[in-house]
Structure 1
Amino acid sequence: MSDLPYQRILLKLSGEILAGENGTGIDPSVVSYFAREIKSVVDQGLEVCLVIGGGNIFRGGANTRNIERVTGDYMGMLGTVINALAIQDALEKSGIPTRVQTAISITQVAEPFIRRRAMRHLEKGRVLIFAAGTGNPFFTTDSAAALRAAEMNVDALLKGTKVDGVYDKDPVTHADAVRYTSLSYEEAIEQNLKVMDLSAIALCRENKIPIIVFNFKEPGHLLRVIKGEPIGTILGG
């Protein structure tokens, strides 16, 4: 572990990835893939925190029809809890001890977020899964990931996506899109590259937490990132 550039990370994943080709819900084969990838870095001695979105279950926000914004955001938080429990189940079946901590109280299925308790779990080698966002409406899981990354004193925030980094334009619709290997926080904000929410990037900048954006769907990329290989795009590194 001492040879790794990062000793403690927070991995941010979107809920949509969990849906696989179905588009919604949870694909068991994808959950198993998640568990294998995370186990590969836990086996290296890394301390791992996770934040998972809930868009595959329910996406809140301003565009939610006929549902009040605040209500929709709380529904989205509950979606992240469902995903967290699915990941916890898969990890523990792989022999990885975990704890789910939530920003809203659901004590029958998860612990409330208590920073000192969370730190102790990491010291004991448990993977921590943070669910229910920040516990507040109007904040995304990107903001929650940045907040928990700062609270847990992580060495890097890794954002796993479907693409291999940050581009100057959408690579799906623009064949001439150029991938950045590195960016400053300011460049990402000024160019509005939509790496993460502006508030999340600003929080990482304030706490000097590098953000690494990479293709999580590519097997082995997570392990390569934590070994310091030039995978994806690094912000603020």
Structure 2
Amino acid sequence: MPRHKGEPSPVTLLFDLPVAPTVPVVGEAAAYPVRRIFCVGRNYAAHALELGNAVDREAPIWFNKAPAALCLDGGAIPYPPGTESCHYEMELVVAIGAPAFRIAPEGAMEVVYGYACGLDMTRRDLQNASKAKGYPWDTGKDFENGAVIAPITPAAAFTPEGQRIALTQGGAVRQDGVLSDMIWSIPELIADLSRLYHLAPGDLIYTGTPAGVGPVAVGDVLEGTIDGLTPLRLEIAQAE
């Protein structure tokens, strides 16, 4: 077909990029495509204190993980490279399903598509080294398989209140809390994040972890649960 005057020339790409990662949805044939991953730190007071951090109630502490860090649960991941202290952090994940910009907390739940169990895997030694120098946390937080997620449950089937959130490591309970222990509630998190970004369908929010985080080792089986959501399971395999 001839090109009309003024139309841009078609662009030839040097290479193909992977399509957006997707997450299964409970009861749906279609999957949820992931656009961005936002994470909030120190959102449970006991967890902040166990790592020697002050409890900050002025504003949420945000960091990001690339979509390439996403990993579906149910299988095994190699022990991450570049670290000798990789930690698990069990979290509730919120999946955004509608645009939101400068939204009020009162309307924030209307933009939620669903919820899932997730793990914010952390290269703790790299994170601590960065913190000591006043550097960003990127290498400690954003790496392949660093954002684990179970299937998403639509919001119509789950209302986050005071449900238990827990994680076992090799069958032993390591984390055990309730969602109502969050410093910043889900509506408050969405509202605050929407001041900084134009939120849109495909955005995930990892909402913080309760106390009890710790290191993983090769051969570990991690199982995370939040009452009412599909549980999460992950095995740690040999490093590559």
TM-score scaled by length of structure 1: 0.27
Between structures 1 and 2, the one with greater strand share? 2
TM-score scaled by length of structure 2: 0.26
